Structure 1
C-alpha cells in the first residue's frame, strides 16, 4: 500500500459521505421530492484499492450503511469541521435540531456524531429503517466484536442512541497511517514486545519439535485462507492455542520470537506478575484489558511461566479457592475467544489445568538437547573472533555435561569476558570448565 493511494481513498470516501449528508439534509429539511431517490453509491471499483480501510470493508462484507457509519466515525479525525460545514450549509435557519444528534468535546469544538446522527443521515424519519440500523451497535456486530467503533454510554435515562460515536484510536491509526500503533507497557497492557536477531538456523531442536513448530508457522501464514477464503469460519474457532513445555533455556521464548519474525507478526510477552492480583476480580479485569487491546490485531500473545495463571484448579475449601477456580474458568473462556495465536509456556505439561490442555491445537515439547544437539550448540555459540585452544574438546564437553542452549550461551559469554580481561582472544579448556561449574551452581547442581 502506498501512502498516496491511502490518501486518495480517504479523500474519495469523505467526498462520498459529504454527498450523502447533503442528500439527506436537502430532502429532510427542503422536502424536495426530486431528491427522494435511493442513497447514492460509491463507484463500483472503489473497494478494489488495496488500503486498510477497503480491506477491512471487504473482509467483513460491510453493506452501504455500515460503510457510511465507519466513515462518519473517522471523518472528524480527518477534517475537524467536516460535519459543521455540511450541516450549517443546508440548515434552513439557525436553531436546535435534535434529530441530527451530535455533541461537542472539551478540546475539539467541532460537531461530533452520535448514534442519532447515524440514524438520521442513513434512515431519516423512516421508523423501520432506524430500528434496523441500530443493529450495527449490537455486541454481535463486527464493529463491537473487533472493537472498531462503539457508542459511548449516555447519561442514565437518556436514549442509547444519544451516545457518542467513537472509533478506537488503534483503528484511526490503521485507516490513516496504514498500521496499528504498538501499545506501551502499562497496567492496562502488561506485555512487552519481544524480538530476535537470530534465524531459524540458530534454533537447535529435535526433528519432531521443529516439524511441529513449522506446522504452527503454517497456521499463522495460511489460517486466514482456511477461515475466510475457504469459509471454515463457522466451523472452526478463529484463534489458535499452543502449549510449549520443557525445562528453562530450551528455546521456548526464542521460538515464539522467531514465529513472529518470519510471519510478520508482533509477539508480546505477558508480564504475569502484573496480571495476577490478590484482589477478587482484578486478575480478570487485567486480562480483559489485555485481550481487548490485542483483539483483531494479529498479535501473538506469549504467556511465559504460565503456571501461575493457567495452573490446575483445586478442590474448593474456602472462598479463596472458589475465586481462584473462577479465574481459571474466565481464562479458559477468554483464550478460546481470542482470534489470534496464544502461546502458553510451562516447565511441565502436568502443571497446566486439563481444561486448557484439551483446547490446545498444538502441544510442543522442548526437551533438554541430546549429545548431538549440544555439540551443534557448542559449535555455533562462539564468535568468529575467538580462538579455541587445542585442549578444548567440544564433542567431549557435549557428552559430559547436560546443558541447555541458554546454559551454553551463558558459559560462552563468561569465557569471552575472561579472555578479554586477560587481553587475548583464546579460550582454554579450564575457562570452559570454570564457566560450566558457575552455571551448574546457579541451578543448584554439583559438577
Structure 2
C-alpha cells in the first residue's frame, strides 16, 4: 500500500517544531470540538424520538491557520469533511481521550457496551474502531453506512494515500472467527503523522501496525565512549545523513550509486551499537526505528513482504533510520536448500536485500559476531563499523561517567584499578553500577562501597561464564 511519491524533507529542528505548535494546537482544537459536537449530535439523534440519521450531524469548521502543517497535510491529501472527521476520531485517544468515554456507556438492557458504537475496551482509554467511524458518519442509516464502509476500505483514499487504515480486528470465540472487518482499531499512519505533526511522536495506534519501535536515548553525542576509528566511521554516516541528498541529486552521483547508505555494526553485546544508532538520529534530526524481526517474518506466504513494504514506505517518507538488531538471524551464512521452507526463507532475505538497496535512507544492521554474516551480504554494505570491548582508559571514563551525581564513592574504591583489572563492556559496567546503587539505597545511604561493586562484578561475570 503506497502513498503519493513525495520527496523526504528533513525533520524540523526542535525550535522549528516548537514554533509550529500554536498553529497545530489551534487547528486540532477546532477539529476535536467539531468531533465532540458530532458525537453529541449523533447520539442525540440516534436515541431521539423518532430516531434520525443525518449524513453529518454538524458542519465542518474552517481548516487551520497559515503555516499549520496539520491543515496543510489535510488539504494536500484532499480530505473531505467525512474523512477529516474520521481522522479526528482516530487521533482523539492520544489528544483528548476523555472525549470518547461516552462510547463506553453500557446498554442496560443487555448489560454490556453498545455494539453499534464499536468501542474497543480493555485498556486505560477507549479506542475507536472502524465500526465507531461508521456509526459516527451514518448512525443507523444503511445507505450512509455503506458509503462510510467505502471510505474505510483498503482501496479508499485514506488507505491508498497512507493516511489512515482499519487495523486487524479482534478474534472472537474458540474458532477464531473475526467479529467484523471493521472491528479493528483506527490506525493513523506514521508517515502522515510525520507530515502533519512534525516533531510530535504521538503514541497513536498506527505505530502498532508496523514491525518496529522507535529508539529513544536520554544521552548525548558527547556521552559516546568509543575508539577514535569507530567515532570517525560514525561521523561518516552523519555526513551522509546531512549531505547525502545533495551528493545524489545536485552532484549527480545518484545515477551511479545506490540511493541510501547501509552499515553493519558488529561487536560484543553492550559495546554501544544501539546507543550509537540512536544518537546518530538524535544528532541529525532523524527518528531511529528498531525493527522487530519476529514481527517481520510470517509463516504466511506473502505476509513478510507486505510487512516490510509498509515499513520501508513509512521510513522513506518520514526519513527514519532503520536499525535491524541481531541481523545474523536474516543475513547469516546460507546453507543448502533442502525443502520449500528453505526456498521461501531465501526469497524473504532476497526481498529484504532488494528493499534495503532501494531504500533512500540509512539502514543499520547490528550483530554480535561479524563472522556470522555471509560474505555475499558484506559486499553490499557501504560501511562496516567495529565496536570492540573498551580499553582500560575507556573503561575508566565509563566508570567515572556512570556513577550518579547523587552517589558518593567510598574512599577505598579505586576506579582506575577496577578499569585495569576487569575487561567488561559499557553495558555490563552499567549493570554493576546499578547493583551497587540499589544496595546503597537499600541501606538508606548514598555511599557506594567496595563490596557493592565487587558483588555486582561477580554477578555480571558469572552471567558471562567468567570469574573475577
TM-score normalized by the length of structure 1: 0.63
The answer to whether the Cα contact below 8 Å between 1:296 and 1:340 also exists between their aligned partners in 2 is no
In the TM superposition, what is the alpha-carbon distance from 1:236 to its structure 2 partner? Answer: 2.3
Partner of 2:388: 367
1:428 matched to 2:449? The reply is yes
For each residue in 1:231-257, what CA deviation from the matched residue of structure 2 results, as whole angstroms up to 9, or x when unmatched?
333232221111100000000010011
Partner of 1:355: 376
1:306 matched to 2:327? The reply is yes
Quick one: which of 316, 324, 338 aligns to 2:359? 338
1:274 matched to 2:306? The reply is no
Partner of 1:400: 421
Partner of 2:78: 74
The answer to whether the Cα contact below 8 Å between 2:20 and 2:69 also exists between their aligned partners in 1 is no
Q: Kindly tell me: are residues 390 and 353 of structure 1, through their superposed partners in 2, closer, same or farther at Cα, counting changes over 3 Å?
A: same
The answer to whether the Cα contact below 8 Å between 1:189 and 1:289 also exists between their aligned partners in 2 is yes
For each residue in 1:119-158, what CA deviation from the matched residue of structure 2 results, as whole angstroms up to 9, or x when unmatched?
xxxxxxxxxxxxxxxxxxxxxxxxx9xx679xxxxxxxxx
For each residue in 1:183-221, what CA deviation from the matched residue of structure 2 results, as whole angstroms up to 9, or x when unmatched?
747663011111111112211111100110111111111
Q: Kindly tell me: are residues 174 and 285 of structure 1, through their superposed partners in 2, closer, same or farther at Cα, counting changes over 3 Å?
A: closer
Aligned residues: 324
Paired with 1:333 and 1:410, the residues of 2 have a C-alpha distance of 39
1:191 matched to 2:220? The reply is no
For each residue in 1:31-71, what CA deviation from the matched residue of structure 2 results, as whole angstroms up to 9, or x when unmatched?
xxxxxxxxxxxxxxxxxx99879x99xxxxxxxxxxxxx97
Partner of 2:57: none
In the TM superposition, what is the alpha-carbon distance from 1:378 to its structure 2 partner? Answer: 0.8
Quick one: which of 196, 217, 221 aligns to 2:238? 217
Question: If you compute each CA radius of gyration, which structure gives the higher value, 1 or 2?
Answer: 1
The alignment partner of 1:302 has SS state of: strand
Q: Kindly tell me: are residues 424 and 232 of structure 1, through their superposed partners in 2, closer, same or farther at Cα, counting changes over 3 Å?
A: same
- In structure 2, stretches of 5+ residues that fail to align are 1-15, 25-65, 86-142, 152-159, 164-187
Give matches, 1:413-424, under 5 Å.
Answer: 413-424=434-445
Range that drifts further, 398-407 or 420-429 = 420-429
Give matches, 1:203-242, under 5 Å.
Answer: 203-242=224-263
For each residue in 1:284-328, what CA deviation from the matched residue of structure 2 results, as whole angstroms up to 9, or x when unmatched?
332223223323210011111111122222111222222222221
Paired with 1:221 and 1:325, the residues of 2 have a C-alpha distance of 34
Partner of 2:266: 245
Range that drifts further, 385-394 or 254-263 = 385-394
Partner of 1:123: none
The answer to whether the Cα contact below 8 Å between 2:189 and 2:206 also exists between their aligned partners in 1 is no
The answer to whether the Cα contact below 8 Å between 1:371 and 1:399 also exists between their aligned partners in 2 is yes
The alignment partner of 2:412 has SS state of: coil
Partner of 1:317: 338
Paired with 2:348 and 2:311, the residues of 1 have a C-alpha distance of 15
- In structure 1, stretches of 5+ residues that fail to align are 8-48, 57-69, 82-103, 113-143, 150-167
Q: Kindly tell me: are residues 254 and 413 of structure 1, through their superposed partners in 2, closer, same or farther at Cα, counting changes over 3 Å?
A: same
Partner of 2:432: 411
The alignment partner of 2:78 has SS state of: helix
Q: Kindly tell me: are residues 176 and 420 of structure 1, through their superposed partners in 2, closer, same or farther at Cα, counting changes over 3 Å?
A: closer
In the TM superposition, what is the alpha-carbon distance from 1:385 to its structure 2 partner? Answer: 1.9
Give matches, 1:53-202, under 5 Å.
Answer: 73-74=77-78, 76=80, 106=145, 177=197, 184=205, 188-202=209-223
Q: Kindly tell me: are residues 177 and 76 of structure 1, through their superposed partners in 2, closer, same or farther at Cα, counting changes over 3 Å?
A: farther
Paired with 1:388 and 1:171, the residues of 2 have a C-alpha distance of 48
The alignment partner of 1:248 has SS state of: coil
The alignment partner of 2:80 has SS state of: helix
The alignment partner of 1:213 has SS state of: helix
Paired with 1:422 and 1:415, the residues of 2 have a C-alpha distance of 11
Partner of 2:156: none
The alignment partner of 2:439 has SS state of: helix
